[in-house]
Structure formats: C-alpha cells, structure tokens
Structure 1
Amino acid sequence: MAIVLSTPQTISHLLAQKLAIPNYQRAYKWQPKHVNQLIDDIFHHRIKPCYRLGTVVLHQDKDNDVLNIVDGQQRLLTLSLLCTILNESGKLISSPLLEHKFESSVSIENLKCNAQIIAKRVGSLSGIERQELLNFVLNKCELIQVTLDDLSEAFQFFDSQNARGKALAPHDLLKAFHLREMMDSSEQSERLHHVSLWEKGINPDDNSANLHTIMGEFLFRMRRWIDGDYGIQFSRHNIDVFKGINLDKTQYVYADAILALNYAVESFNTDIARKWDRQTKNYPFQVDQVIINGKRFFEYVQHYIAMHSKLFVGEKALLNSFLNQHTKYPGCFRKGDVYVKNLFLCSVMYYYDKFGDVELEKVAQICFCWSYSLRLELQRIGIESVDNHAKARSGLLRAISKAIHSQQVLNYQPRYIQEPKFTNAMDVQASIKAMTFGSSH
C-alpha cells in the first residue's frame, strides 16, 4: 500500500494543509448529537497534555499538492467550525475547508445548524477561556493522518478501517467499494456522475423512496428471500449481497454471457450512428442477477429506484389505484401491517422485474392475497413472521423465480383463509378481499 505518511498531527497542522473535499464525498451529515458529543469530549479532556480524536484518510493528488479527504470529512469540518467560532481575533487560524463551495443543501443546512450549536455551547466562556480552549484544540488535540498517493488504495484503507467497527451506513461502504472497482476502467467524470446520483438518492427531492429504503427494504430482501435466506436487516455485516464480479478481471466461464451482454450494450451506445439518432440502451438488469462491480452496480440501484417509483409512487404510478383501494385501512400503519405491505410490494416488484406489466393487476391481486394472509392468520406480526413467509419454498417469490411464463404465476393459489383467528374491522375487510380475489383465480 502506497502510504506516504502515517503519523499523529495536531489540528493546527492539519487545517493548515491544502485540504479539499472531492466531489465523490458524501454530504456533511453530522447531527447535533454528534457535535455535542465532540464538544463534551473536548471539554472533558482539556486538562490532558494530548488528546487523540481518531484517524483521517487523505489522498495526495499527483498533479498538485492538494490533499483530498477520503475519510474524516465530518470531524474535520466540525473542528473547523469550532476553531473558527472560538477564534474571535481571526489571527490564529484560517480554515480553507469552510471556503469549499458546498453544492448539497443537506451539507449547507447541517453546517448552519451546527455552527449555531457550537456558538451556543461556547457563548458563556470568557475571552481567556475561549483562547485556552482554542489553544487546546489546535495544539493538543491530534488526528492520525494517513496519506496515500493512490486513490484506489485510499478507498481500500477506508474500507478496512470501517470494517473494524466504525459506524458507517452500508450504502456508504458500498459506494467506496464500487468506486474503487471503477478506478481502472472509467473516467473521473463518469465516477462523479454516479456519485452525484447516489447522493441525490440518499435524500431525494421528490416523493420517491430514498436509496437506503430501496436497498435495505427491497433489493436486499428480494435477493435474500429468493435464495431462501433471511432478509430482516440490511447492515454493514451483509453488504456482500451487493458485491459481485469485476468484468475486467474475471475469467470464469459463467461470466462469459454477462461479458457478452455488457459488450453488446457498450457497443450499441458507443456506435457513431447512435450519436445521430440519440438512442441508447440501458443494461437489462434483473434483481437477482450476479452483481457487476463498478458502474453497473450504481446503474443497478438507480434502475430499481426508478422502477419502484413507476409502480408505486404518485398518482400516475401503475398500481396507484390498487394501493389506495386495498392497502389503506384503519390500522394499516401498525408495524406488523407495514411489514406485510413491504412483502406485498416486494412480490409485485419482483414479478414486474421479470414479466413487465403483463397481467400486472391480476398478479397484484395474487400478491396481495399471499402477503396479507399473514394478517388473517396471526394476531401479532413481527418481521420474523414475514421473513419466514417470504423465503418459504412454497411461497410466491419462489414461484415467480421458477416461472417461465406469466401464466404460471397467475396459476399460483394463495392459501385460502376460511376462519381468521380474530375479527376486527380491518381483518374482516382484508378477509373479504382475500376471498374475492381467491374466487376469481
């Protein structure tokens, strides 16, 4: 690993360097609890001769002397805010990081909010106390600076650091992994494009589901359930579900068909004739396919964000009327009912992924009966009950997986519930629907 530097550095020395926030970085997301915790720690340890705050990973750009922040952006920005607010004279520190042009509205709002929190926390200090605290932060607080001259290695180091226990969301770890997979086969502009879409997906501007929901409650669960495995919780411990093969490096025979399809799509889109008619072809993803590392992974996630919206979000969604008619009832927001609805939506999405809108309304009825039968059988529904129902060998997801024609899914018979265990108003309604749907198939 091409480590240029690995040594403790004072905050003063770190902030004096030419630090930059690259475009592939996630937004600044520290909440008040994180800021308050950092300030509490600093106040608690300010009598010590030295206090270490963690590690920062930097990438040294070969074309200039700028150090891009790979890991540690949240802490460095917060420390910059703290030092700037403490530094009333303006002579002890300048903070180039805060001069960065932030494009994300999330970053801007969090910086404003956290600046107010810091100002309030230190507002009661006297001038001497502020200077003493600033001196402690600048000259006695340290971060381990790890600087690498290879961006791929920097991401790998970042990945290994977080695998040892630092709390990062699984989608952040996957972003780092798949960006690293793109390093040898893509231009920087292409990587920045995918990172931009990724960050927008985390906090979408419209009513579409966010990226974490799509990955954790749909893609992760479908991929696991189809394999007959548990799909309860998506975390950093099972992100391998979204890691696959690098097409530039694999030599396995089973990958030949994937390579051929990928080549066909690339050839079509780079054909000079396509520049004339402006036609493009998207990669034909399947939810349970082998993951293609790198840009195809990013495209895969965006594809299913769009599919979820097309099926379920807004008045123009293909199943908007069905959802309004059948999934909105007194008690539909109970935790168990939310789990059942998620199972229903996953089953519909899995069918649509394979057969498109062929007989979609009829299949939605079957998916509804199969999913909501749990609501009639069980008085209390936990995610474990939904999990067991979803991965069952005789379940609907397995039937869709095996089906070659849509008619095979239409022939699936959800279990008929004759005597529900309890009969509140919601269950009577669902029971009637289940019997009505069941009698028509």
Structure 2
Amino acid sequence: MDNVSSSILTFNELTELNLSIPDYQRPYVWELKQIKMLLKDIENTKDGALLGSIILHEIKRDGKTIYEVIDGQQRLTTIKLILMVLSEYKIVMENHNGYSNYLSNVSFFHKISQDNIKNNYEYIKNYLSNEDKAKDFLEKLENTQFIIVATTKADDAFIFFDNTNSKGKKLENYDLIKAFHLQAKQERHKDLQNANARYFESVINADKDNINKFLNQILNFTRKTIKQEHERTKWWSDDLIFDEFCKENLSGQSSCDYGIISDFANGVEFFEYFRKFYEMLKIIKQTDFYQKLNYLDGTGYLQNALCMCMVVFMDRFKSGNFDKMMRFATRIIYTNRLVGKSVRWESTMGSSEKIIRAIFVNNYESKIYESLDEIARECYAYEQEKIAENQIDGGKRKDYKELCKDYLNEEFKKYGILGHYVG
C-alpha cells in the first residue's frame, strides 16, 4: 500500500515523534505481570533488541504531524512511567531535553487507567531503587528499538492491528469493535465520539463479563441465523465477530434500517445499534419472569437463546405481546432443561433458530404463534419420550420440573400455550 510505511526506530527517535493516544483507545490496563515482563525485557537488552511493533495513524492537525497510536499504547504508556521515575534521579534530564515531548499531551480520564498508573508507577519506583541502577536501566532503554508501521489511512492501520500486544493482554472483541467505529467518525463528530466512548466504557465497567456474550452469543449469532450464513463450529470466532460488526459500508453513508440485521455506516450508526439492543437486553433481564428462570441455567445457553429470540421480537413487533412471546420462547427453549442430564448447546441453539425464523418471516404476530404452537406440540411429544427413557431427576432439572408444576405451566396455560410434560 502506497500510504503505508515501515521502519525500525531507536528509542530516542521514537520519543521525537508527536505521539497521541486517541480517546477511543481502551484504558491503560497493564498490571504488575505485564510491567515485570517489560522491565525484564529492557534489562536484558543487548545490541538494540526489539521491543515489538507500534502501529500509528499519521494525521495533520493545526499544521503539525501527529501520530495516533493504534497499537502499542500499553507499552508506550509504561515507558512514560519509567521516564517519570528516572527523571527523579535527574539523569534523564541530560538526554533529549528530558524526553519532554514524549506523550506530553496525553491524559487518562478513565479510573481503570488512573488506578493502574498509580500502582505501576509505585512498582517501577521501587524497582529502580537507586541512581546507579536507574542510570544503567536508562542506557539499556535507549538501546531498544521498535518496528514502526505508519499509515495515513486509519482503515489500513486497523488492517495491521494485532489482537495481542507483545507479551501483553489480549484485546477483547469489544475493544476492537469500539476502536474501529470511534476512529471512523472522529473528525466529523468529535463531541459525539467522546460521548460514545464514555457510554461504551460505562457499559463495559458495569457489565464487563457479559458484553462479549452480548456481542458474540446474542447479536452475532442472531444476525447469522436470520441471514442463514453461520457455521455452527465457527460462529463466535474472533475474526468472524470483528468482520460482522466492522464492515466497510457505503464509505460512511447510512443504509436502510433492517432491524437487527442492519449494516451500519462506520461510527455513529453502530453505537446507536449497540445501545438500542443492549437496552432491550436490560429490559428482558429485569422482568420478573426472567428472574424466576435465572438460577436454572448452568451453562448460560438457555438464557442466551431466550434473549436472542426476545430482542428479535421486540425489534420487529414494537407493540407486540411481550409477555406471551416470552412464555412461548421459554416453553420451547427450556425443553432442553427437561430432557437430558445436561443442557446441550446444539439443541438449544436449534430451538432458538426455529423461533427466530418464525418471528422474522411472519408479518403478523398471530402467524408467529401458529408456528410456535406446532413447535410446542412437537416439544411435548419429545418430552414424553425422553423423560420416559431417562428417569434421573436431580439438580437443576428437578428444580425446573418443580417450577413447571408450581408456576410455569399455569403461566403457559394463561396464554393458550401447551405446557411441559413433567411426568
């Protein structure tokens, strides 16, 4: 690519670049494990050893050339902390004006960043505990080198973006997706960019363990189910998920709204899409009915399958009978809680596929229920057969049968839904 250059820079040359860490980057997440590795790498440096690659996006701003860090911010920030410690011994002041230009305008508003900066700084300060050790360490740091990949196009920078920093923490899918869409619109929508960055981070902080599940196991699988393009063995691989949510679409122009399977222009539209379906998911999980099922799913497959069906329904039938659909979907999906010793992914996803397709292909709500009624009757016959074969009745399976007798089958009956066979 003509707009991409690569070179090997010494540490001194690197610090002369006007480096910037964009707001859309993830927080500074390195902890002591990664700090110890980097310190050891530098200390063992001989003859200009490489400290990994740095990917930069070259831009012009106010007549100046600025290099936005796309990959490498964790190492570069840690080196900034090292220089801050070294400056206390005055030895760094003799070199290149104390490296005063290095990450001089970078700020860290995120609490995760601030906490890690404080902890890591204290560790580095104790590690470089005297002036002789600090001086020797600076000499070794100055002998290090970096592979620099720089491009004038942000899209090309993300092509080179490595999912794993050198000996560092693997980037989560939400880190990659967030960065892709925030960088795509930063010039036109700076205020909105910052607001979306804060919203996304607030969601991650509040629900970090579930965000990847939401993107991977709910939105991604639902989209591929409707489009009939998923492979069961690969549907949540990292590459496929990134490709699904980070497509180049119409050079940033808006496209038609096709609901959950919509494509989106880079940037603004993705975050509107994400917020819309994430808020739907929160509503589903807050319902009393969902809460009664919450403890009965050891693997999470049943809950994910139920949520997939419900977000499709809520999106497609905005004034539809939420309570009835919630119970119909539960009745069909939770057959898998009754019929075996454990819940199987394949059968659970197979059940959700049938429901999703029924919702998506029908333009009238009544037609959906006709289709689901047929599936429920098939489930009832299947339950009779399998429960007769398998008399083991412990754990969550037993708990679910009790819930059916005490509550669920009555709820299904209220909405004209054939209940579970419980023996």
Same fold judged by TM-score > 0.5?
yes
Residues 89-104 of structure 1 correspond to what in structure 2 (within 5 A)? 89-92=89-92, 93-94=98-99, 96-97=102-103, 100-104=106-110
Residues 39-438 of structure 1 correspond to what in structure 2 (within 5 A)? 39-43=39-43, 45-46=44-45, 48-58=46-56, 59-63=58-62, 64-92=64-92, 93-94=98-99, 96-97=102-103, 100-123=106-129, 126-137=130-141, 139-148=142-151, 150=152, 153-162=153-162, 167-179=170-182, 181-182=184-185, 186-204=188-206, 211-228=211-228, 229=230, 230=232, 233-244=236-247, 246-248=249-251, 259=255, 286-312=259-285, 317=286, 319=287, 321-328=288-295, 332=296, 334=298, 336=299, 338-391=300-353, 395-411=354-370, 412-413=372-373, 414=376, 415-416=379-380, 417-418=383-384, 419-420=386-387, 421=390, 422-424=392-394, 426-431=396-401, 433=404, 435-436=409-410
Aligned partner of 2:95 in structure 1 is: none
Q: 1:237 to 1:196 in 2, by over 3 A?
A: same
Provide the secondary structure at the position in 2 that maps to 1:54.
strand
Residues 16-31 of structure 1 correspond to what in structure 2 (within 5 A)? 16-31=16-31
Provide the rounded CA distance (Å) in 1 between the counterparts of 2:235 and 2:341. Answer: 20
Gaps of 5+ in 2: 93-97, 418-423
Q: 1:234 to 1:86 in 2, by over 3 A?
A: same
Amino acid at match of 2:394: N
Deviations 1:69-125 (A, max 9, x none): 2332111001111233244413413455376332111211121222233334444xx
Q: CA RMSD in A?
A: 3.2
Provide the rounded CA distance (Å) in 1 between the counterparts of 2:118 and 2:164. Answer: 32
Gaps of 5+ in 1: 251-257, 262-283
Provide the secondary structure at the position in 1 that maps to 2:342.
coil
Provide the rounded CA distance (Å) in 2 between the counterparts of 1:431 and 1:405. Answer: 33
Q: Does the 8 Å CA contact 1:77/1:98 hold for their aligned counterparts?
A: no
Q: Does the 8 Å CA contact 1:60/1:68 hold for their aligned counterparts?
A: yes
Aligned partner of 1:269 in structure 2 is: none
Q: Does the 8 Å CA contact 1:6/1:145 hold for their aligned counterparts?
A: yes
Q: 1:101 to 1:161 in 2, by over 3 A?
A: closer
Provide the rounded CA distance (Å) in 2 between the counterparts of 1:298 and 1:400. Answer: 25
Q: Does the 8 Å CA contact 2:260/2:315 hold for their aligned counterparts?
A: yes
Provide the rounded CA distance (Å) in 2 between the counterparts of 1:292 and 1:386. Answer: 33
Provide the secondary structure at the position in 2 that maps to 1:287.
helix
Q: 1:340 to 1:121 in 2, by over 3 A?
A: farther
Give the number of aligned pairs. 386
Provide the rounded CA distance (Å) in 2 between the counterparts of 1:208 and 1:171. Answer: 10
Identity %: 23
Provide the rounded CA distance (Å) in 2 between the counterparts of 1:409 and 1:354. Answer: 12
Amino acid at match of 2:236: Q
Provide the secondary structure at the position in 2 that maps to 1:311.
helix
Q: Does the 8 Å CA contact 1:156/1:180 hold for their aligned counterparts?
A: no
Amino acid at match of 1:13: E
Q: Does the 8 Å CA contact 2:249/2:265 hold for their aligned counterparts?
A: yes
Residue 410 (structure 1) shift? 2.7
Provide the rounded CA distance (Å) in 2 between the counterparts of 1:244 and 1:17. Answer: 31
Residue 53 (structure 1) shift? 1.0
Amino acid at match of 2:143: K
Provide the rounded CA distance (Å) in 1 between the counterparts of 2:27 and 2:361. Answer: 42
Q: TM-score, normalised on structure 1?
A: 0.76
Provide the secondary structure at the position in 1 that maps to 2:42.
helix
Deviations 1:264-284 (A, max 9, x none): xxxxxxxxxxxxxxxxxxxx6
Provide the secondary structure at the position in 2 that maps to 1:114.
helix
Q: Does the 8 Å CA contact 2:150/2:157 hold for their aligned counterparts?
A: no
Provide the secondary structure at the position in 2 that maps to 1:61.
strand
Q: 1:10 to 1:248 in 2, by over 3 A?
A: closer
Provide the rounded CA distance (Å) in 1 between the counterparts of 2:11 and 2:210. Answer: 35
Provide the rounded CA distance (Å) in 1 between the counterparts of 2:226 and 2:401. Answer: 27
Provide the secondary structure at the position in 1 that maps to 2:90.
coil
Provide the rounded CA distance (Å) in 2 between the counterparts of 1:57 and 1:182. Answer: 19
Provide the secondary structure at the position in 2 that maps to 1:342.
helix
Q: Does the 8 Å CA contact 1:70/1:155 hold for their aligned counterparts?
A: no
Which segment drifts farther, 347-356 or 91-100?
91-100
Q: Does the 8 Å CA contact 1:10/1:141 hold for their aligned counterparts?
A: yes
Provide the secondary structure at the position in 1 that maps to 2:103.
helix
Provide the secondary structure at the position in 2 that maps to 1:203.
helix
